[in-house]
């Protein structure tokens, strides 16, 4: 039995509306997206599914 793939996305607010990035399977790409979104929009969280 194989382990399930962990997916991540970045959730943030833009103009008062909750937005989310596409799903990432790579932690490196998710971390990079989190850094970029935080610089651009302020607060953001990394959501793991």
Mean pLDDT, residues 2-26: 93
The pTM is what? 0.85
Phi, psi dihedral angles at 48 (to 5 degrees)? -115, 130
- Sorted by where each begins, the domain ranges of the chain are 8-48
Enumerate residues 6+ apart whose C-beta is below 8 A from 13: 19, 41, 42, 43
Residue 4 has pLDDT above 90, yes or no: no
Residue 2 has pLDDT above 60, yes or no: no
Burial code of 16-43, b = ≥16 C-beta within 10 A, e = fewer? eeeeebeebeeeeebeebbeebeeeeee
- What percentage of the chain carries pLDDT values higher than 70? 94
pLDDT tens for 35-46 read 999 999 999 999
């Amino acid at each position: 039995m194989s382990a399930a793939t962990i997916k991540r996305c970045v959730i943030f607010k833009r103009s008062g509306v909750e937005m989310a990035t596409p799903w990432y399977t790579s932690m490196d790409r998710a971390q990079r997206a989190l850094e970029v979104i935080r610089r651009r929009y302020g607060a953001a969280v990394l959501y793991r599914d």
